[in-house]
Amino acid sequence: MSSPTADAPGTPGAPGDLTRLTAARLVEGYAAREFTPVEVVRAVLERSEEIQPAVNAFVRIEAEAALRQAGESAERWRRGEPAGLLDGVPVTVKDILLLRGGPTLRGSWTVSADGPWDEDAPSVARLREHGAVFTARTTTPEFGWKGVTDSPRHGATGNPYDPARTAGGSSGGSAAAVALGAGPLSLGTDGGGSVRIPASFCGIFALKPTYGRVPLYPASAYGTLAHVGPMTRDARDAALLMDVITGPDPRDWSQLGPVPGSFRDGLRGGVAGLRVAYSPDLGGRPEDAPEPAPEVAKAVRRAVEVLAELGAEVEEADPGLPDAVESFHTLWFSGAARVTQHLDAEGRALLDPGLREACEQGASRSALDYLAAVDVRMAMGRLMGVFHTRYDLLVTPTLPLTAFELGHEVPPGAPYRRWTGWTPYTHPFNMTQQPAASVPCGTDGAGLPVGVQLVGARHADALVLRAAHALYEAGVADIPPPPAPAAGAGAGAGPGAVRPAGS
């Protein structure tokens, strides 16, 4: 059996290391009989156990079930009858989405592990139909409520580049897993930046699709702010994953209609002739929101210059969005209040103190407050709809800063209390339901990743992926890989964490 060739810049491992390979490359290798799903899944499980003590990426590692699934996949490939587009590819799933056979704990002591746990979320069901192998459940803050990943039940998730810093959130476990080679694909959720924030901090790719493009069930307590999205090594893998998880599901009343064509086919064509608006700081952000750090601004500007060199028509322009953070808080905190409404005083005492405070704020908002926030949201959507008649893409920093110290909701010394203060470029596009992706575009002086955000009009997911793919092809995302984590160097599993199966 020949050794595979690594094809994913910025991923861990030595040449020939199966954990380096993208999902697309794994499928090619299975078809060519270069290696088997069992070999790949074993390597990924070993990597998962290796990184867990340092970054705490997982709630649970499902070694026995994953190896069984891998064996079944290997037999299908031996017969030349793969089940689908991702047969034998290791996938991790954020512990917010249902995955049958085990509990979905949502980072909370208020969720019982008792079963039956016999249902898959729509995106998980589509992956299962295509033969994907589920290796682990990834960490999340309690009910995915904030932009960093720590919870009373499962502890904190450290950054692959420095485990003493945050991986971001709320899909921080997924981002850390992908960055460190514990599977090329992960499913995350994004209600205010929750796939894009950790993607930026951890140096991977993530897409928040147009709302409804990926079916979701059960419906999120955060309503139509919440999206399911791919977290991957590159845009090509994200397109492959989107071709699977956008399949219809009758349980989601708000899903969009069938996708016209393949997202993978849509990667071709480059960016020549695209009208690109570059907004260095997305005017309209809250007054106390941080300006982009100089190294962030420099890396993002360079990515924009590459788009211009590739033929895009780039203009510095701002959409003029209002400061809508309080409207977002009304919608977000009301959702948090709703998801915890059933708890008695004893249950509330178990909550993350910050979440408990957010729930109290949400419960104090009236129906008229909520509808006023919806009005703001509709106005923002109209504004962005008109903006995209002039521009195909909007480009901003994903975040104004790089990863900060672990154990904090906001950077130490910041003038704001909530995570929305340092994420002024992400949550506006949950309000407008647009597709938005984060692409690695450099590192700061400490070697921490920087992300550039690409935003498209509603339903323009394929265009966002195409532009992101062009940046990957041009080498913009070629950042140094994270160092091999040292056990005990950072987050660890934390008090009360659920340890990996078999550990």
How confident is the model over 199-218, as pLDDT tens digits?
999 999 999 999 999 999 99
* Residue 94 falls in the annotated catalytic set: yes
Residues 469-489: pLDDT tens digits? 999 999 999 999 999 877 555
The C-alpha atoms of residue 471 and residue 428 are separated, in whole angstroms, by: 24
Report the domain count for the chain: 1
Return mean pLDDT, the chain: 93
Q: Are 158 and 55 in contact (CB under 8 A)?
A: yes
Indicate if the pLDDT at residue 90 is higher than 60.
Answer: yes
| 206 membership: H or E segment, kind and range | strand 205-208
Helix segments in 21-62, DSSP class H: 23-31, 37-55
Asked about 194 being catalytic, the answer comes back as yes
- Phi and psi at 171, nearest 5°, equal -95, 45
Contact 431, 327 (CB under 8 A): yes
Residue 244 belongs to a domain with what CATH number? Answer: 3.90.1300.10
Calculate mean pLDDT across residues 15-34.
Answer: 93
3-state SS track over 81-127: CCCCCCCCCEEEEECCCCCCCCCCCCCCCCCCCCCCCCCCCHHHHHH
Residue closest to 435 by CA, chosen among 166, 221, 246: 246
User: Phi and psi dihedrals of 97, rounded to 5?
Assistant: -90, 135
Q: Peptide bond preceding 3: is omega within 30 degrees of 0, i.e. cis?
A: no
Domain of residue 162 covers 21-473
Contact criterion met (CB below 8 Å) for 152 and 109: yes
- Is residue 128 domain-resident? yes
Q: Which two tokens stand for residue 228?
A: 């399911």
Residue 229 belongs to some domain of the structure: yes
Of the residues 170, 174, 220, 279, only one is catalytic, namely 170
Give per-residue pLDDT as tens, 403-418: 999 999 999 999 999 9
Q: Would you state the structure tokens that stand for residue 289, as one six-digit string?
A: 């929101």
Tell me which of 171, 194, 220, 327 is the catalytic residue.
194
Identity of residue 42: R
Q: Domain for residue 326, yes or no?
A: yes
Q: Pick the closest to residue 91 from 164, 178, 179 (CA basis).
A: 178
Q: Is residue 207 part of a domain?
A: yes
Contact 202, 157 (CB under 8 A): no
Asked, for residue 483, whether it belongs to a domain, the answer is no
Beta bridge partner(s), residue 376: none
Using only C-alpha atoms, what is the Rg of the chain? 21
The CA-to-CA distance between both ends of the chain, in Å, stands at: 32
Contact 244, 130 (CB under 8 A): yes
Query: Residue 341, class by beta-carbon neighbours within 10 Å (0-12 exposed, 13-18 middle, 19+ buried)?
Result: exposed
Are the CB atoms for 251 and 287 separated by under 8 Å? no
Q: How far is CA 184 from CA 82, 165, 330, 430, in A?
A: 19, 22, 36, 25
> φ and ψ at 277, to 5 degrees?
-100, 130
Distance CA 73, CA 77 (A): 6
Alpha-carbon distance 155 to 148, whole Å? 11
**Distance between CA atoms of residues 371 and 358, nearest Å:** 19
Number of helices (H) and strands (E) in the chain: give both, helices first: 14, 15
Does 41 reside within a domain?
Answer: yes
Are 437 and 468 in contact by the 8 Å Cβ rule? The answer is: yes
**Within-domain flag for 59:** yes
Q: What would the two tokens of residue 227 be?
A: 């999206």
Q: pLDDT band at residue 309, thresholds of 50, 70 and 90? A: very high
pLDDT in tens, 160-195: 999 999 999 999 999 999 999 999 999 999 999 999
Q: How many CB atoms lie within 10 A of CB 386?
A: 11
The DSSP bridge partners found for residue 188 are: 229
DSSP 133-148: EEEEEEP-SGGG-SSS
- The residue annotated as part of the active site, out of 48, 94, 171, 200, is 94
What sign for the dihedral angle of Cα 79, 84, 88, 89?
positive
CB 88 within 8 A of CB 70: yes
The percent of residues in the chain predicted with pLDDT above 70, rounded, is 93
Average pLDDT on 304-311 reads: 98
pLDDT at 484: 84
Examine residue 15 and say whether the peptide bond preceding it is cis (omega within 30 degrees of 0): no
Residue 374's identity, in one-letter code, is: V
Residue 491 inside a domain? The answer is no
Q: 25 and 34 in contact (C-beta within 8 Å)? A: no
Burial class (CB in 10 A: 0-12, 13-18, 19+), 389: exposed
Segment 399-455, tens digit of pLDDT: 999 999 999 999 999 999 999 999 999 999 999 999 999 999 999 999 999 999 999
